[in-house]
Structure 1
Amino acid sequence: MASEIRAIRSDSPLYAGALRLRYEVFVLEQAVPEEIEVDEHDAEAQHFVIQDGAEVVATMRLVPYGDALKVGRVAVRKDLRGRGLGRRMIEEAARVAEAQGARALVLSSQVVAVPFYRKLGFVEEGPVFDEAGIPHTRMVKRLGPGGEEGQEKQ
């Protein structure tokens, strides 16, 4: 089954596998225009992959975003969804963000994925908007002192 999460850069041979998976999920499954799937942030992003043998079966990227990190391009191979790979990726994002001193994780969630991110401590901020023809909403998970991780529930 799937291996540990590996941090890679855009010059890694595994990056091609991450792009193949993103193409399958976003362009083929969700009809995101191919010309916007890879963008100017890919070169600067921290990329993460989970492999099954030599194949990349889950991926995400983290991009600096003010005092936060922006999670993006979270993709899991269709037949492996629901097995915790996406959760593992988001938990890794939080670990990396805290280690780098980020105060929050932010992301643009597809509306259908909002319950998934809520379970992982994200909250919606702002209205629903269209991104690549798909309804999205901004979500934030506060980290560290003063953030959700260290606050008592009121």
Structure 2
Amino acid sequence: MKVKVVETEQELQLAYSIRKEVFVEEQNVPLEEEIDQYEKDSTHFLLYINDKPAGAGRFRILNGIGKVERICVLSSAREKGAGKAIMDGIQEYAEKHKISKLKLNAQTHAIPFYEKLGYEVSSGEFMDAGIPHKSMVKTL
């Protein structure tokens, strides 16, 4: 398993393709909500398993806090540590850039996953793209 920062347009399109499969096709998130105005301001990540793209995520810095977004893994790669690998790669990137706090908006079913990575719930439940979420934070 390898996580890398997206560097080319081809890699970016692979990340978008994974996000579309997971969020748009599986979870029925409207495409116009999934691919949004923050794409150009974000650092994108791809996860490779056996040299094949299997997961994606993106990262932005807002007011000195790292915002982790759009974490997804193809169904064929789930339950194998892929999500943790993406999160570890993003955290390493954040630490290199001297970010000391991360935040994310987790789908409520994924909260236990993020709690295992050291995130704590920091908000009540809210809806995003028709899916219940809670905000979470982690101090590095």
Report the alpha carbon displacement of residue 50 of structure 1 after superposing the two structures with TM: 1.6
User: How many percent identity over aligned positions?
Assistant: 32
Q: What is the CA deviation profile of residues 86-108 of structure 1, one whole-angstrom value per residue up to 9, with x for unaligned ones?
A: 10111112111111111211000
Counterparts of 1:5-24 in structure 2 under 5 Å? 5-9=3-7, 11-24=8-21
| Count of aligned pairs between the two proteins | 140
TM-score (norm 2): 0.94
For residue 44 of structure 2, the aligned residue among 22, 31, 47 is 47
| Unpaired stretches in structure 2, ≥5 consecutive residues | none
Whether the aligned pair in 2 keeps the contact of 1:68 and 1:97 (CA below 8 Å) is no
- Which one has the bigger helix percentage? 2
Whether the aligned pair in 1 keeps the contact of 2:47 and 2:53 (CA below 8 Å) is yes
* 1:103 alignment partner in structure 2: 100
Q: d(CA) in 2 for partners of 1:75 and 1:31?
A: 14
Counterparts of 1:3-152 in structure 2 under 5 Å? 3-9=1-7, 11-52=8-49, 55-143=52-140
* 1:150 alignment partner in structure 2: none
Q: d(CA) in 2 for partners of 1:8 and 1:139?
A: 25
The runs of 4+ residues in structure 1 deviating greater than 6 Å are none
| Unpaired stretches in structure 1, ≥5 consecutive residues | 144-154
TM-score (norm 1): 0.86
Q: Between Structure 1 and Structure 2, whose CA radius of gyration is higher?
A: 1
